[in-house]
Amino acid sequence: MLIIAGSDSGGGAGIQADIKTVTALGGFAMTAVTALTVQNTLGVSGIFDVPPAFVAEQMRAVLADLGADCIKLGMLHRPEVVEVVADVLAEAAAGVPVVVDPVMVAKGGHSLLAEPAVASLRRRLLPIATVLTPNLPEAAVLLGEEGPGADPLRDAERLLGLGPQAVLLKGGHAAGPLLVDVLAERGRGPERLESRRIATRHTHGTGCTLASALACGIGQGLGVRDAVIRARAYVRAAIEAAPGFGAGHGPLGHAHTVRPFPTTPEAG
């Protein structure tokens, strides 16, 4: 699976979370890094952009040699990167499923997608998305709204109108004891996916993790709904297994599926 996204120096989100997730679910992760961020559990304090031409070189090198069963798009940051990613996908990955996670704002509030890039994202990438995975604020931006709408089922269907084959509208930003995501696919009505909200501050990277888990499932041959169900279960268990690191929004326990390696050799 090819992941095209930014790096998180704190290890909880971005490329680092993506690689951990795909590995924990039995996949093989390859990457094209779009930006380097200076961040920890307290927030983002700096962004260093990778030149768009170099992003394209990373993508072409991986696709030409290793190929990809699914592609996950995360932080793209600038319109020039959105454009070059779209160009290379059309050139070298036509027909490969694409999961688009429209990463716009970090957990601490730092902007991760420049405003001019939103139009490029909407125009170039949503029409080729197999699944679009916005949270409620991101959905509002994509729909041109001032804030999240009152009816997420309707908003998920409106997002389908922008071109993706399916939309997973994440409800984590809403209030209440229930976490409600909405899955909308072409040809079928929207479906509410409910779970009890976990009271914790350790939720850094949940969006990246969910999108990568979903993309991994699709790359392994699962249908969209089955991949979503597995991805949601994986993220929930990862939140429950969070190691408790950091003073802010801590990382998830991505390795909860992995059997611990023995720390001492067995007697022979």
Length of the chain: 268
Q: Is the pLDDT of residue 100 over 70?
A: yes
Q: Is the pLDDT of residue 113 over 80?
A: no
For the chain, list the domains and their CATH numbers: 2-257 (3.40.1190.20)
Residue 103 pLDDT class (50, 70, 90 cuts)? confident
Residue 192 pLDDT class (50, 70, 90 cuts)? very high
Average pLDDT over residues 61-83: 96
**Kind plus residue range of the DSSP H or E element containing 193:** strand 188-196
Spatial strand order in the sheet of 188-196: 43-49, 30-40, 2-8, 71-73, 98-100, 131-132, 166-169, 178-185, 188-196
Residue 107 pLDDT class (50, 70, 90 cuts)? low
Beta strand pairing status for 71-73 and 98-100?
Answer: parallel
pLDDT at 172: 81
pLDDT above 90 covers a percentage of the chain that reads 81
170 vs 183: CA distance, rounded Å = 9
CB of 69 closer than 8 Å to CB of 215: no
8 vs 15: CA distance, rounded Å = 7
Residue 81 pLDDT class (50, 70, 90 cuts)? very high
CB of 129 closer than 8 Å to CB of 165: yes
Average pLDDT over residues 173-188: 89
Residue scoring higher pLDDT (189 or 127): 127
For 225-267, the pLDDT digits (tens) are 999 999 999 999 999 999 999 999 999 999 999 977 776 655 5
Average pLDDT over residues 111-136: 90
Residue scoring higher pLDDT (149 or 18): 18
Alpha carbon separation from 74 to 115, 177, 199, 267 (Å, rounded): 16, 28, 26, 46
pLDDT at 210: 98
Catalytic residue numbers read: 170, 203, 205-208
Q: Give the lowest-confidence range in 43-52, 80-89, 117-126, 140-149.
A: 140-149
Average pLDDT over residues 41-61: 96
43 vs 109: CA distance, rounded Å = 7
First vs last Cα of the chain: how many Å apart? 39
Bridge partners of 105?
Answer: 111
Q: Is the pLDDT of residue 268 over 60?
A: no
